[in-house]
Chains A and B, each alone.
Chain A
Amino acid sequence: MKVVKLLLYLVLSGVAGCSGLQSALDVHGMPATHLKHLMTAFFWICAIVWLLVIVTLIYALVRSHTADASTQLDGPRTRIAVSGAVAATSVIITGLTIASFYTTRSIDTRMGDAITIAVKGEQWWWRVRYPNPDWVLEFETANEIHIPVGRDVRLQLESANVIHSFWVPSLAGKQDLVPGRSNTLLIRAERPGVYRGQCAEFCGLQHSHMGILVVAEDEASFSRWLASQRVVRSRTMDDEAAAGERVFLAKPCAACHTVRGTFATGISGPDLTHVGSRRTIGAGLLETTRGSLAAWIADPQTLKPGNNMPMVPLTSDELRQVSRYMDVLR
């Protein structure tokens, strides 16, 4: 009995705790809201059917069997009952099928013109590009997507390596990123907020640490953010950060990472031009602070074993300077 109570407690607390970072039940976006309605309907219908079956089973087991020991098993009553149950089943599943068709349709309808954002799955982070016909205005970032509230956003999903799956449950269902194909996913946030997502298709060693944040903000802040991301080099740098930049450019860092406006133009790692402004590092692994930046640079293989960032030997001074530099790249 104790165990059952404990279970009940945990289940209830679990459901209550559903409003969280990344939950299909805590919805703030257009497709996810429709999906939640559908899921609720499915849940109740299925729960009732299950209960009916179990109640019938229990009654069949406990009812007195002495009276009808000789009753004909396949009498007309039994046949009618079983056929009726099958007919009811088919009505229910037809209804559920139609409900899913209409939900699919309503998800696909869009309002107005959509912003396009290109998302590329890497091992194990997300390359995000805001395409613009004017290439000067185009920029790349990583692991964090900013979108304006209330507008349709078309995510163009591609992968250059293995299959990944883009899933931000509070906003929409998931969609795979398949090499050799281009998939799209339509999302629309209804409320400002930060919604976490995670790669949902097994993609190798660090599949567990491939998070993404979607930051939904009002039109004004979104434009501000766009403008700030397009800025190449207006940051104020103290001596320590300037020294860090020199270390960054002299060491292997620059071979893989880009900091626009410097000679660092590597493209195999995430673009670091505004890394200090992003909320997390290591694809949702750690909150961005100077300390976490230093920890990550010092020993990436302990924090995220198997990821493609090597451990670059730095002296403690160099580490301090580089982490300072990363921190001011806002």
Chain B
Amino acid sequence: MTVGSPERDTRDSRLTDSELQRQLAVTWGSAGGLWNALSNVDHKVIGRRYIVTAFVFLALGGVLSLAMRLQLSQPEARFIGPDRYNQIFTMHGTNMMFLFAVPVMEAMAVYLVPLMVGTRNIAFPRLNAFSYWMFLAGGILLWVAFAIDTGPDVGWFAYVPLAGPQYGTGKRADIWAQMITFTEISALAVSLELVVTILKQRAPGMALNRIPLFVWSILVTSFLVILAMPAIMIASTSLILDRLVGTHFFNPAEGGDVLLWQHLFWFFGHPEVYIIFLPAVGMVSTIIATFTQRPVFGYLAMVMALITTGVLAFGLWVHHMFVAGLPRLGASFFTASSMAIALPAGLQIFCWLATIWWGRPIFRTPFLFVLGFIFTFVIGGMTGVMVASVPFDTQVHDTYFVVAHFHYVLVGGALFPLLGAIYYWFPKFTGRMMSERLGKWVFGLIVLGFNLTFFPMHILGLQGMPRRIYTYQPEMPWGGLNMFISLSALILTTGFLLFFIDVIRSARHGKSAGANPWRASTLEWATPSPPPCYNFQRIPVVGDSTPVWTDCEVLTVASGLRVDRRELLITGVVDASPEARESSPDHSVWPFWTAIATALVLIWSIFTPWAVVWGAVPVATALTGWFWPKGKPEDES
């Protein structure tokens, strides 16, 4: 870029607002049509697809749980046989963890983080598109397999030897392991994009201590994904190799080890819980700040709590294996660490309470969901302290007590904030408000239905009802509570149905929202709703941690970005001092083809290892197309 080039000035400095908007729309926008839809790399479009897809999977997983509740409502019921039931509970867990909870949190981040840090697109936008197509392909693989009676039946944890070659017959466990590969690839890609976006694309002045708490939580989560996912990648790949190629990672007779699987799986599996929970924490902080109209108390403490949780998350995995027969020292070490994680969690709760204490609460639906979150999640945290204790755990491990515990943590701790977040950001996504009246009904039905459904499971667990059973005998004293739970599940279902109805209705007929309907403080509200394809007309400049409260009428912005190519402002990691202008890649259909080629390899390799060799050809071709220099303005810098 030569300074003051004599040709046409393509910077935005001297353009009028309407001229600037027109030119930016040409550079950043995308025409309609299927082809353009497949090649779109706008983070908002992809984020929206991600969110919608993940909620479709939530609904499907919910249907499965209803099927399980039907079967368990009576002793020795015969609605569903053991083979189908095992597939159903495996599908429910796998679907909810890998196709709903993790992707939906990343999806919210894909949509919101670039807006919250004040940039025009996510870093590596084509990788982002690729990650969505991979996620979609993985989900379709799993559900089509289930539909043709090849759904995995080994539990979402797929313990060997049950999932190994001898006992996991057919292709069911292979489908599970390969579906993991799809979601691993997509999660790793998204995390990488988010880390780079957060560290290098923040608006000038958004130093580390001014990053919104949601963005902090996403940063920590992304590092957790990057560090934890390789463990499950090794695990699922070794499982596939054991099953298809005849290796012996988990075969004790040939020097393998059965518990190795559990170590690898839970080294990923425990951080996974925090990968789901930490973004929810960020959402809670955001919603509390807006609905008390105060910044959250103890910003530094909150950030440190997030980081501490992230670090401790890697020191807990053995508490899933307390009854596997490990040495006592190991067990007590992991008891201490599992208890210690209550400290950062408690600290955050106390900071939120302090904020609410001094703030003036505004009881709108998102805030109600946060209250539901505190009520429910603290119960989950308490039972978490219980199962962290080795002796306590020996009685409740693998019982319905644990089922209740982790639903309290995951539904109460992550899904409630997420629903609040949907109510909160829906106006930003669509430009329309969701119904406040319906919202209160949704909140009431879901929180009540959830507690009625899952609280009795604690009691069932103490009464000796193990997990993952497709039925129980009439002489066990579990029939009444199980029937009660199944009926309560209907209340919960009604709540979710209302939620979906509200979303679909509001997307078309909701009240128009305006740029900042909640009077919130973060940058995503400093642009119209829904945001234009270029996010911000000019890049905002930030002077504190609540920029929109400070500049509520007039925004301080930086001008001087080119409008004829997709220019972003790159800033420093710590102080977000402006460093350079750089172009962001244009729309491309190659990520879509690459995802198709990769999906082909992964699915084909379930049937023959040669797929890896021959399937590499289309993947290489697609990647060549992806990275081929096009001579466009985007290639200049």
Contact = CB atoms under 8 A, between A and B. Distances in A.
A82 B385 contact: no
Chain B interface main SS type: helix
B161 interface: yes
Contacts of A42: 385-386, 389, 392
Nearest to A205: B82
A156 to B, nearest CB: 12
A93 B385 contact: yes
A198 B396 CA distance: 13
Contacts of A202: 155, 159, 162, 398, 467-468
A108 to B, nearest CB: 8
A237 interface: no
Interface string A156-187: 00000111010101001111101111010000
B500 interface: no
A56 B356 CA distance: 10
Interface in B231-262: 252-253, 257-259
A23 B328 contact: no
B385 A96 contact: yes
A57 B161 contact: no
A21 B331 CA distance: 30
A38 B386 CA distance: 10
A20 B477 contact: yes
A239 interface: no
A163 to B, nearest CB: 6
Contacts of A175: 323, 325, 394
Given A17-B463, A46-B382, A180-B257, A69 B391 contact: no
Contacts of A205: 82-83, 86
Contacts of B396: 24
Residue from B324, B336, B355 with most neighbouring chain A CB atoms (10 Å):
B324
Interface stretch (A60-68, A260-268, A317-325): A60-68
Contact of A199 (B297, B382, B466): B466
Contact of B462 (A18, A86, A96): A18
A11 interface: yes
Contact of A208 (B359, B360, B361, B471): B471
B390 interface: yes
B350 A86 contact: yes
A177 to B, nearest CB: 9
A76 interface: no
A73 B355 contact: yes
Contacts of B486: none
Contact of A203 (B162, B258, B349, B459): B162
Interface in A80-105: 81-82, 85-86, 89-90, 93-94, 96-97, 99-101, 103-104
B356 A89 contact: no
B456 interface: yes
A211 B323 CA distance: 18
A164 to B, nearest CB: 10
Given A10-B456, A78-B297, A104-B391, A200 B484 contact: no
Contact of A38 (B347, B389, B473): B389
Interface string B476-490: 110011001000000
A21 B477 contact: yes
A31 B81 CA distance: 36
A201 interface: yes
Interface stretch (B183-191, B372-380, B549-557, B594-602): B372-380
Residue from A31, A54, A178 with most neighbouring chain B CB atoms (10 Å):
A178
Contacts of A209: 473
A87 B328 CA distance: 28
Given A14-B459, A89-B343, A180-B253, 9 more contacts: A60-B357, A68-B358, A96-B389, A162-B162, A172-B394, A174-B398, A178-B325, A200-B323, A202-B159
17 contacts: A10-B481, A11-B459, A14-B456, A17-B463, A39-B392, A43-B386, A57-B353, A82-B297, A85-B350, A86-B347, A101-B332, A161-B166, A162-B161, A174-B394, A175-B323, A206-B82, A306-B82
**7 A-B pairs closest in CB distance:** A173-B394, A180-B252, A22-B464, A46-B382, A208-B469, A100-B389, A183-B325
